[in-house]
């Protein structure tokens, strides 16, 4: 019995509607290429090539209309039975390119900039020979460069010319050169050519023009110790309850609930004082949380004379972060509905001697303890134009002096848009964009680092907070540690996680084969994931392991569990080599010189294979941000998520 299934896969807007038997014959891996050829006026002939034969003619939704592709020698199809399916569709290339070719840089310079920057997949550097060849073929071809540069000079008139006028003006042979060519490659970035020219020739923002220190990972002391916006109970300096304090963020979450901010924070902290069970797995209590709760009360009494005053919550801001790499592009960016994240990272403060660290680095036995808290917010965006406008706001921060009054004011206008009450009116009662709150710490048990996750609402996991409090949730993309080195894990990675089109592809489900699978917490009792025969494909093992919480923070990135280190007052957090590509350096290239090689941090395979992974996650985020800023929304509306995965899309990672 056949059923009909809708897939969002085509390069031109969208969804594929096809007939299926028990085994799908036409899915997202079937498309070899989709090309648009000049035909008559603004009617284009689209050709669809597939990787394998199918029994029925494919149907694609183009320009919002279901379109039948046929291989019958009629209606534009050049030859019956040759395996190339065709359809005639209204399509004006100039209108699509009108806001794409707006860069002032020459095509050659744009291509050189792309070639000089690493290519990333799954957060590590890859050698994409086909993409490099496509870039170089345009760069070395004077005719193609002339076409690209002429298109740039036509910016103002592109939307007004027909396809025939456009190819005539450019001197392009419309019989041998397609208007548009899309070659989806589901393990790599899709290659897109416009009139034979690689789309990267029209980039407006080079990755190296993005300063990660001011628009991606902001750790400058003049920002994180801003006296108007932050506060530190250890020094007594700053503004209690300032806009970038832990206190302010809790107040925003508590607004709309029946809790005071103080009760809201206490209820959350007391999760560590009891064993709880999620997805059938126990998360043991960590009783030393009582020491932190006591310290907060002492700081409150000393600061304001009141018990548990939220304005004196002991937390030190470490970083404000923009994560464009965590957005997909389905429906205008946002795999699984995500369109990127923005974050605040704090280190909790406490009595370092009492906790058992054996030292006190600051006065009054008050200092940062190994307990990071990350508020992770979805961005306030819903479609391609708003995502692009959002990243443009972050990019504009580069034009101000980092930490200057104007910079901090502009940054505040961004952060309040995603962190304040009312940023998400559809979420009740908090009206918050908070996606999750994560902790990673060993301050409560020095023998074991542990990562936990909390949410306001997660129907998929059966976690629902009707009163608006933060509830413990499973740790995404991480199995329970009991499944390390098991045949069930081997079966999952081989037959679900890595299989295109499988519902579990790139994610870890709550259960697998009827067995509770996803972990309730992520302890570092293991530093990387293995499974029987995993060394047969070390790259696949590494990709899976890197996406888990515990391995991303330890063995796979050669990190001591936190990528953003705690800092002293007035100091700057050290960033992991996984983030920076090199040791003890918090910035990347000199933005004024785009041809300085980007530093990469090599990590040997902890499972013992010869595989070496190369990391520079801030550079990967630069590439993701550049992708968003460089590709016009008109073109993105034609090229959908499954056919055109961009560098901003890997898996549903949250790290």
Per-residue confidence (pLDDT) for residue 337, from 0 to 100: 57
- d(Cα 339, Cα 322) in Å, to the nearest integer? 11
Rounded to whole angstroms, the Cα distance separating 344 from 367 reads 19
Residue 66 has pLDDT above 90, yes or no: no
SS3 state of residue 391: helix
Reported as a pLDDT band with limits 50, 70 and 90, residue 316 is: very high
Query: For residue 326, what are the β-bridge partners?
Result: none
Structure tokens at 604: 């040997």
Closest CA to 111 of 143, 146, 137, 135: 135
Q: Global pTM?
A: 0.90
Q: Contact, 37 vs 176, CB < 8 A?
A: no
The two three-digit tokens of residue 505, written as one number: 């592809």
Burial 84-110 (b: 16+ CB within 10 A, else e): bbbbebebbbbebbbebbebebebbbb
Taking 80 as the threshold, does the pLDDT of residue 515 lie above it?
A: yes
- Crossing angle for the helix pair 107-115 and 129-139, nearest 10 degrees? 150
415 pLDDT above the threshold of 70? yes
Which residue's entry shows tokens 């790499």? 325
Mean pLDDT along residues 364-389: 91
Helix (H) or strand (E) segment spanning residue 165 = helix 163-170
Residue among 625, 145, 53, 651 nearest 393 (CA): 625
**Which pLDDT belongs to residue 12?**
27
pLDDT tens-place string over residues 222-252: 999 999 999 999 999 999 999 999 999 999 9
CA-based nearest residue to 479, from 544, 553, 560: 544
Helix (H/G/I), strand (E/B), else coil: 406 = helix
Q: Does residue 273 contact residue 336 with C-beta atoms inside 8 Å?
A: no
- DSSP-derived letter for residue 599 is P
More confident residue, 582 or 565: 565
Helix (H, G, I), strand (E, B) or coil at 24: coil
Least confident of 16-20, 50-54, 204-208, 223-227: 16-20
Where along the chain do its domains lie? Answer: 3-91, 94-204, 212-565
Query: Is pLDDT above 50 for 22?
Result: no
Residue positions counted in the chain: 655
> Helix axis angle, 142-153 relative to 129-139, nearest 10°?
80
DSSP-assigned states of every residue in 99-153: TTS---S-HHHHHHHHHTS-EEETTEEE--HHHHHHHHHHHT-HHHHHHHHHHHH
Tokens of 127: 């050698």
For 514, residues 6+ apart whose C-beta sits below 8 A from its C-beta are none
Other Cβ atoms within 10 Å of 320 Cβ, number: 22
pLDDT at site 217: 98
Which pLDDT does position 210 carry in this prediction?
A: 95
Task: Quote the tokens at residue 610.
Answer: 């010869």
Q: Please tell me the predicted confidence (pLDDT) of residue 328.
A: 56
Q: Are 601 and 578 in contact (CB under 8 A)?
A: yes
pLDDT of residue 504: 79
- For the record, the structure tokens of 275 come out as 């064993």
CA distance 370 to 363: 18
- pLDDT, position 638: 66
pLDDT band per the 50, 70, 90 thresholds, residue 28: low
Predicted confidence (pLDDT) per residue in 417-476, tens digit:
999 999 999 999 999 999 999 999 999 999 999 999 999 987 777 777 789 999 999 999
Q: Which of 136-140, 189-193, 442-446 has the lowest average pLDDT?
A: 189-193
């Amino acid at each position: 019995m056949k059923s009909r299934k809708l897939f969002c896969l085509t390069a031109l807007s969208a969804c594929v509607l096809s007939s299926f038997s028990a085994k799908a014959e036409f899915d997202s891996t079937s498309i070899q290429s989709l090309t648009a050829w000049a035909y008559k006026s603004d009617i284009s002939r689209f050709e669809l090539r597939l990787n394998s034969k199918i029994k029925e003619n494919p149907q694609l939704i183009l320009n919002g209309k279901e379109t039948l592709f046929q291989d019958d020698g009629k209606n534009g199809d050049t030859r019956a039975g040759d395996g190339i399916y065709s359809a005639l569709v209204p399509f004006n290339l100039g209108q699509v390119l009108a806001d794409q070719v707006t860069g002032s840089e020459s095509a050659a310079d744009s291509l050189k900039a792309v070639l000089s920057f690493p290519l990333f997949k799954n957060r590590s550097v890859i050698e994409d020979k086909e993409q490099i060849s496509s870039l170089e073929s345009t760069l070395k071809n004077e005719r193609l460069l002339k076409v690209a540069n002429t298109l740039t000079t036509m910016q103002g008139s592109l939307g007004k010319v027909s396809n025939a006028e456009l190819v005539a003006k450019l001197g392009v042979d419309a019989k041998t050169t397609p208007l548009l060519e899309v070659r989806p490659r589901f393990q790599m970035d899709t290659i897109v050519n416009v009139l034979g020219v690689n789309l990267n020739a029209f980039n407006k923002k080079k990755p190296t023009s993005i300063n990660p220190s001011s628009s991606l990972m902001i750790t400058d002391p003049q920002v994180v110790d801003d006296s108007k916006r932050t506060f530190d109970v250890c020094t007594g300096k700053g503004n209690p309850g300032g806009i970038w304090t832990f206190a302010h963020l809790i107040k925003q979450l508590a607004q709309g609930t029946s809790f005071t901010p103080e009760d809201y924070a206490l209820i959350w902290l007391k999760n560590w004082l009891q064993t709880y069970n999620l997805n059938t797995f126990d998360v043991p209590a960590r009783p030393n949380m009582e020491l932190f709760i006591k310290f907060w009360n002492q700081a409150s009494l000393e600061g304001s004379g009141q018990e548990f005053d939220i304005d004196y919550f002991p937390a030190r801001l470490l970083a404000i972060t923009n994560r464009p790499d965590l957005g997909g592009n389905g429906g205008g960016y946002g795999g699984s509905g995500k369109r990127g994240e923005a974050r605040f990272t704090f280190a909790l403060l406490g009595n370092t001697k009492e906790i058992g660290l054996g030292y006190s680095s600051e006065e009054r036995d008050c200092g940062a303890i190994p307990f990071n808290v990350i508020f992770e917010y979805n961005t306030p965006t819903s479609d391609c134009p708003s995502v692009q406008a959002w990243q443009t706001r972050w990019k504009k921060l580069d034009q101000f002096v980092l930490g200057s009054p104007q910079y901090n004011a502009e940054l505040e206008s961004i952060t309040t848009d995603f962190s304040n009450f009312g940023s998400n009116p559809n979420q009740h009662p908090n009206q918050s964009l908070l996606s999750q709150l994560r902790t990673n710490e060993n301050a409560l048990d020095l023998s074991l680092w542990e990562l936990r996750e909390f949410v306001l609402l997660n129907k998929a996991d059966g976690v629902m907070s009707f009163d608006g409090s933060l509830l413990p949730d499973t740790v995404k993309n991480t199995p329970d540690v009991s499944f390390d080195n098991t045949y069930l894990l081997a079966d999952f990675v081989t037959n679900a996680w890595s299989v295109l089109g499988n519902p579990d592809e790139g994610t870890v489900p709550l259960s697998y084969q009827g067995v509770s699978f996803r972990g309730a917490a992520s302890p570092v009792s293991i530093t990387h994931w293995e499974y029987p025969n995993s060394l047969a494909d070390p790259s696949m093992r590494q990709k899976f392991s890197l996406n888990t919480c515990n391995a991303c923070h330890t063995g796979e990135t050669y990190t001591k569990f936190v990528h953003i280190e705690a800092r002293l007052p007035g100091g700057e957090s050290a960033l992991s080599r996984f983030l920076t590509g090199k040791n003890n350096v918090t910035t990347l290239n000199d933005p004024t010189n785009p041809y300085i090689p980007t530093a990469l941090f090599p990590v040997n395979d902890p499972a013992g294979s010869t595989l070496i992974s190369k990391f520079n996650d801030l550079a990967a985020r630069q590439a993701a941000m550049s992708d968003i800023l460089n590709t016009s929304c008109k073109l993105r509306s034609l090229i959908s998520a499954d056919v055109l995965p961009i560098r901003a899309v890997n898996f549903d990672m949250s790290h």
